Amino acid sequence: MRKVIADEWMTLDGVIQAPGQANEDTAGGFQHGGWHVGYFDDLAQRWVVESVVKAGGFLLGRRTYEIFAAHWPNASEAEQVLAEPLNTKPKYVASRTLAEPLAWQNSTVLQDDVGEAVAALKQEDGQDLHVIGSSELVQTLVAHDLVDEFRVMIDPVVVGGGKRLFRDDGALRPLRLLDSQMTTTGVIIATYAPAEA
């Protein structure tokens, strides 16, 4: 059985929307796209590369899939350390609008119920599945108790609103800290797992 690991760049107030570029995701009038860029250092870079390289495959929401599919197949030589695993490893896409075949190599649309599809993928042999970004997908997986680890890069910035890692649903979900470290820019990189009941 393999794990589902959520890899997220997050603000101190829990927002994961549009960390990389100003126009990445302006849904809901979000105006702070690119908030993460100034906090990246060598430690953060190594953390990202290690997560992507060690993944057995990726779970992506439609919007994240479309952003990645437009960029990574045409990535620069300097980006190949990330592009190669992202391009070649299996990608499972949660979407109600995309249909097979998907243009980005090794990409498959998750059919029917996403919770059931991911639960079935977890039962397969192989390396862990990593979710990157994909706020709605992560929230769905959390609601179905399918996330085994949250690996978050928490930036020392508050954006005051936007798509968050966790839904505002009133549910209590205790977590336990597995690992933590701090970057030169004040970012906390932490790994959490659901606490035992």
pLDDT of residue 111: 78
| CA 175-85-106 angle, 5° bins | 100
- SS3 at position 7: strand
DSSP annotation string for 109-157: EPPS-HHHHHHHHHHSSSSPEEEES-HHHHHHHHHTT---EEEEEEES-
pLDDT of residue 196: 76
pLDDT of residue 151: 98
pLDDT in tens, the chain (197 residues): 999 999 999 999 999 999 999 999 999 999 999 999 999 999 999 999 999 999 999 999 999 999 999 999 999 999 999 999 999 999 999 999 999 999 999 999 997 899 999 999 999 999 999 999 999 999 999 999 999 999 999 999 999 999 999 999 999 999 999 999 999 999 999 999 999 75
pLDDT of residue 112: 81
pTM for the model: 0.94
Look up residue 67 and give its DSSP letter: H
Segment holding 43, helix H or strand E: helix 42-54
pLDDT of residue 102: 96
